[in-house]
Amino acid sequence: MENIKSGFIKPNKEIIFLEYYELEAWCKSEIQKYIMENGKKMQDRLERFERFSEDYSYFKPYLDFVIFEMKYIQLNPFFMKDAFGSSDGEHYFVQTNCGNHYYDVLGNGAFYFNKASDKNYHIQKDSIIENGMIDVKGNTIELFSNGDIDLNAWGHPGLSCMILNQYCSFSKTLCEDLQEYIIENHSNIYTMYLMERLGFTQVTKRRSHSFICLHSHLFTPEQVRVAYLIKEYYGNDIIPFGQKEDSKPKQLIKEIWGDVYENR
């Protein structure tokens, strides 16, 4: 299996190659250097980072700050070889030029999503949402339009890429597992990975059929509670999936959230 590295192109054109799971720690260090390198601007830069970080409690702000504020270009996001992730200050754009099967999930050419902040995706606990994902802790991450850009344009696959970009930036185990999953699967890869390997529940509201996909072996009481709140409000069908139990997803989930299955 080819090890596809990530990394960054700096504004000065310097190229830094990194393992995907090294991104978060590297970004944190790079931000510290950015703040400290100019004594006259140190306070202004520190305040700039603090303001940016105010709306990040679910995800950490380091990766987004480097991309959105420092204007670094990310190499090979989501293990897409020869792809580039960059920002116009508000939106994260991915340019691709390859037709491998896993690109087809989002379409060849370009796609986008927004900053991974609490506000942009209405990330909160026990929320009634129309479209989005519920994690194993009962937090909802919502798809919606903010009036400027339609965050539903790439639907659950785009949302899933945003989430995985954050998790892959610090988890070696997840990176290795996701790369294997990409090779073995050919349809709706990123969303299905979140559901099958990290226990996420998908919420979808459509005119013809609204549904909630709940993993039969990975669900938690917190997820079930939120799923039934949404069902009562919107009338979604709850659809169980997952035919066999596998220990690996629970290991991945424990690495990110701790032992959420301790009392089951």
**pLDDT of amino acid 151:** 47
**pLDDT of amino acid 102:** 37
1 within a domain of the structure (yes/no): no
Q: Which of the 8 DSSP states describes residue 22?
A: G
Entry pTM? 0.90
**pLDDT of amino acid 62:** 98
163 within a domain of the structure (yes/no): yes
Rounded average pLDDT per 10-residue block, the chain, 264 residues: 89 96 98 92 95 97 97 93 86 68 43 85 93 96 64 71 95 95 82 95 87 94 95 92 84 93 70
Q: What is the DSSP string of 171-192?
A: -HHHHHHHHHHHHH--SSHHHH
Cα atoms in the 13 Å half-sphere on the side-chain side of 63: 29
264 within a domain of the structure (yes/no): no
230 within a domain of the structure (yes/no): yes
97 within a domain of the structure (yes/no): yes
Domain limits at 49?
6-257
112 within a domain of the structure (yes/no): yes
Rounded CA separation 204/186 (Å): 21
187 within a domain of the structure (yes/no): yes
Contact predicate 260/140, CB 8 Å: no
- CA 24 to each of CA 12, 31, 119, 130, 167: distance values in angstroms, whole numbers, following the listed order: 21, 11, 21, 31, 9
**pLDDT of amino acid 205:** 85
C-alpha 98: how far from chain center? 22
* Number of separate domains in the chain: 1
Q: What does DSSP say about strands 211-215 and 237-241: parallel, antiparallel, or unpaired?
A: parallel
**pLDDT of amino acid 180:** 92
**pLDDT of amino acid 1:** 60
194 within a domain of the structure (yes/no): yes
Rounded CA separation 258/252 (Å): 9
